[in-house]
Amino acid sequence: MNAIHRLAAVISLASLLPLSALAADTGTVEVLHWWTSGGEAKAVETLKQQVEKDGFNWKDNAVAGGGGAAAMTVLKTRAISGNPPAAAQIKGPDIQEWGALGLLTNLDDVATANQWDALLPKKVAQIMKYDGHYVAVPVNIHRVNWLWINPEVFAKAGAKVPTTLDELFDAADKLKAAGFVPLAHGGQPWQDSTVFEDLALSILGPKGFKAAFVDLDEATLTGDKMVEVFKTLQKLGTYMDANRAGRDWNIAAAEVINGKAGMQVMGDWAKSEWTAAGKVAGKDYQCVPFPGTQGSFAYNIDSLAMFKLKEPNDIKAQNDLAKVALEPQFQSVFNQNKGSLPVRQDMDMSQFDACTQKSAVDFKEAEQGDGLQPSMAHNMATTLAVQGAIFDVVTNFLNDPKADPANAVKQLNSAIKSAK
């Protein structure tokens, strides 16, 4: 039998099989996300491998751009043209907006079979449901209020690890005097607002933070403490490198890793870069709560919302992805690479490094009182429209060293009002 005959035989055999048998196990799941840094790509690879091991195809739709603004634009275009991916990284209140459009699928069968209600913290489960039904699966819990420190650089500069804002500025002065970039930073709106929200958590405290970014309370948004947040942001800006415009967060992280800069204010996805560089938490680098936010935990939960699909095999692949995302093996390997806490509450934390272990303890502590708050800069606190309004005000302010903090709070309030 020559090659053509063999091929013809295969084709005619295939035509005898029912379609379902032929296509069994070949469903494809397309996943839209923005995990494109070196460390994050490693993390997402673990999800891909598991889905492939289960016999499905993985179609990677990675849209570069930290914080996900570019990914969201792509997602909207895809959805408008009636061709959404099987799964997309959609977070917080935005899940409700997509749910209301009627585009998300019901994952209750997978959730019930795998006991999601028992595995997930109540608050998290609520976020994943639209109209009482699971439409998304969470993969992790990131903490936003972290400060990342290169201890070797600190030692060279004679700087002390800061626990208060005053100490933060002391350390920054010492680093500057010793010729280091005190604060590595990328001038992108979401990064500017990450620093801004950490300052707000420090200065307003968790209750004030909630009043400002969840309740959008006018008195809090325009109050003296918010003016102080902007003033402090302006001062902190003077310790950032002037050429920061457009720099990606992982490039800023690399500056701390390589000893050019002393510290970075960033969520714990920054740890994915330290891990990928072979650095050890507590030894090669330090993670401390952003000064003044001890006891608080600004959370950022990555989740994959699932869209309605037509092809039965693709639906199988989609359900597999949903199931895998909460399995212990995946939760462990993915989160060790990603820098985050597992979202499952029954995991053995001894496999995790010192920073994630601390995060787990701090999460539990913050959960007891008011300390646990949703991150504004990472889509957990408001709609994306309100978040966009805040981003604009904060970035314009930080880019103008002469901007007036008292004026900024007024702009903040009116921008939020018109976006609501």
CB nearer to ligand GAL: give 302 or 320. Answer: 302
The reply to whether 299 sits near ligand GAL by the rule CB under 6 A is: no
CB nearer to ligand GAL: give 205 or 267. Answer: 267
Instruction: With residue 289 as reference, give the H or E element that holds it.
Output: strand 286-289
- Of the candidate spans 47-55, 65-73, 167-175, 205-213, the one that interacts with ligand GAL by CB under 6 A turns out to be 65-73
- Of the candidate spans 2-10, 33-41, 165-173, 274-282, the one that interacts with ligand GAL by CB under 6 A turns out to be 33-41
Contact 96, 133 (CB under 8 A): no
Residue type, 117: D
The reply to whether 378 sits near ligand GAL by the rule CB under 6 A is: yes
Token pair of 378 as six digits: 């990472």
The reply to whether 66 sits near ligand GAL by the rule CB under 6 A is: yes
> Which of 114, 300, 319, 395 lies at the binding interface for ligand GAL (CB under 6 A)?
300
Contact 16, 47 (CB under 8 A): no
Residue type, 115: Q
The reply to whether 371 sits near ligand GAL by the rule CB under 6 A is: no
| CA–CA distance, 138 with 355 (Å, rounded to integer) | 21
Instruction: Give the per-residue contact string, 114-153, with ligand GAL (x = CB under 6 A; - = no).
Output: ----------------------------x-----------
Please enumerate in sequence order all residues whose Cβ is within 8 A of that of 409, keeping only pairs 6 or more positions apart, or say none.
221, 222, 223, 226, 227, 230
Instruction: Give the per-residue contact string, 35-54, with ligand GAL (x = CB under 6 A; - = no).
Output: x----x--------------
Residue type, 22: L
Residue 301 Cβ, how far from ligand GAL at the closest point, in Å?
A: 8
- Of the candidate spans 15-23, 63-71, 254-262, 366-374, the one that interacts with ligand GAL by CB under 6 A turns out to be 63-71
Residue 13 Cβ, how far from ligand GAL at the closest point, in Å?
A: 46
> Which of 154, 169, 213, 269 lies at the binding interface for ligand GAL (CB under 6 A)?
269
CB nearer to ligand GAL: give 27 or 66. Answer: 66
The reply to whether 302 sits near ligand GAL by the rule CB under 6 A is: yes
Q: E strands, 295-414, where?
A: 297-300, 303-306, 341-342, 372-374
| CA–CA distance, 47 with 93 (Å, rounded to integer) | 24
| CA–CA distance, 146 with 257 (Å, rounded to integer) | 15
Q: Are strands 136-138 and 303-306 parallel, antiparallel or unpaired?
A: antiparallel
Size of the site for ligand GAL (CB under 6 A): 12
Going by C-alpha positions, the residue among 225, 248, 201, 379 that lies closest to residue 302 is: 379
CB nearer to ligand GAL: give 185 or 316. Answer: 185
CA 7 to chain centre: 48
Instruction: With residue 62 as reference, give the H or E element that holds it.
Output: strand 57-62
By CB under 6 A, name the binding residues for ligand GAL.
Answer: 34-35, 40, 66-68, 142, 249, 269, 300, 302, 378
